[in-house]
Amino acid sequence: MDVQQHLSILAVDDNPTNLELLKMTLSKEGYCVIPASNGPSARNIAAEKKPDLILLDIKMPGEDGFEVIKKLKTNPSTAGIPVIFLTGVSEIDAKLSGFELGAVDYITKPFHPMEVIARVRLHLKLSIATNSLIAQQARKLREVSEAQTGMLTTPKMQPEARFGVYYLTLHEAGGDFYEVLSVSEGIFGYFVADFSGHDIKTSYLTASVKALLKQNCSPVYHPVESMRMMNEVLVGILPEGKYLTACYIRLNRKAGHMTIINAGHPPPIYIPKKGEPQLLEMNGDVIGIFKDVFFMQKKIQVSPGDRFYLYSDGLIESAEKKIVWTKGSENLIAACRDAGDVLIEKAPEKIAKQMMGQNHQAEDDVVVLGCEI
């Protein structure tokens, strides 16, 4: 967001009087107000104009505010625009639904002009601060003169995370990377990525991604927001043709659930203690090429004793044996099931050896990261 230019606000309301009031109120404060009287029109304008903020009425004929924000948040070009709901509804359930869908605030109608100005100003400040943070992080990473591989986290370093890992690189600068980090007490993040290419620049990338994970994977940000912020920084600093696929899981042991974000990476495997193994297939864009990206997410309730596994495609694909990932995934599910009686610290190694064979020469880097709830 360039604060030297007029900040633009998309106002969406089917009531012409309300639209005119919003335009008069905000125009006097120096904002450029773009009016829209219905949901489809608002979404088209948002995609084309990229406003800095959206004021969105909930109750509208046809496509209501809830449906509009759902579509805005699933469109990569509009997902990052902050949305404030305009509503005459005071019930707490409606407000919570709005926040769950991605709204940043509410203004209750009939609204007072000073309240509108104050809330708009607040959320534009927050948006500017977030974009400034992203730019600052990118500047710091550009100053790195030598590529250094960050120290990989081991189970002994994070015993509360209850994980095990198998890590094999074919070259000095491996293309695969993993990280396990403590987000907060009882909340942990598990990340596996595969970089395009295997050269010395990869060591620089691993150190950069490790730093970005620590900076952006916090309770303040939803896992999707964490990945989007990382993507925005990496788009600006990665060499041409460089990108990474990744899968990120935030496990909240206190609440008993995990949130999975996929960015063009092989799907994780979930092994409930009671129940059948699940391949969590999800779509998502890769990281580091496009500024406007979409990451699919899933939220799953988990129980003590459940396990999940993240891995790189080197584990399940083989050009030599003509094994594609679909067939490899079937074998991997069986291997994960067979490792159910092995301590989680040793399970990834057992899985890798079962998949590749004891004396098999690996064709690519391999990472297997397992966690027990």
What is the rounded CA–CA span in Å between residue 252 and residue 44? 37
Q: Is 174 helix (H, G, I), strand (E, B) or coil?
A: coil
* Mean pLDDT for the stretch of residues 22-46: 95
pLDDT of the residue at 172: 47
Query: Over 80: is that where the pLDDT of 205 sits?
Result: no
State pTM to two decimals. Answer: 0.69
Give 114-123 pLDDT, tens digit per residue: 999 999 999 9
Give 242-266 pLDDT, tens digit per residue: 899 999 999 999 999 999 999 999 9
102-106, 303-307, 320-324: range with lowest mean pLDDT: 320-324
| Cα-to-chain-centroid distance, residue 340 | 29
Average pLDDT, the chain: 86
127-134 CB contacts, 8 Å cutoff, 24+ apart: 127/1, 127/52, 127/53, 127/82, 128/1, 128/3, 130/229, 131/1, 133/229, 134/229, 134/232, 134/233
39-53, 97-111, 171-185, 290-304: range with lowest mean pLDDT: 171-185
What is the rounded CA–CA span in Å between residue 246 and residue 71? 24
Q: Could you give the percent of the chain with pLDDT greater than 70?
A: 85
More confident residue, 242 or 192: 192
Q: Alpha-carbon dihedral of residues 197, 203, 206, 208, nearest 10 degrees? A: -120
Give 172-186 pLDDT, tens digit per residue: 445 788 999 999 999
Could you tell me the domains of the chain? 8-140 (3.40.50.2300), 159-372 (3.60.40.10)
- Judge whether 271 and 233 are in contact, CB under 8 Å: no
Residue 139: left if φ>0, alpha if ψ -120 to 50, beta else—which one?
alpha
Query: Over 70: is that where the pLDDT of 335 sits?
Result: yes
* Mean pLDDT for the stretch of residues 15-26: 94
Question: For residue 141, what pLDDT band results from cuts at 50, 70 and 90?
Answer: low
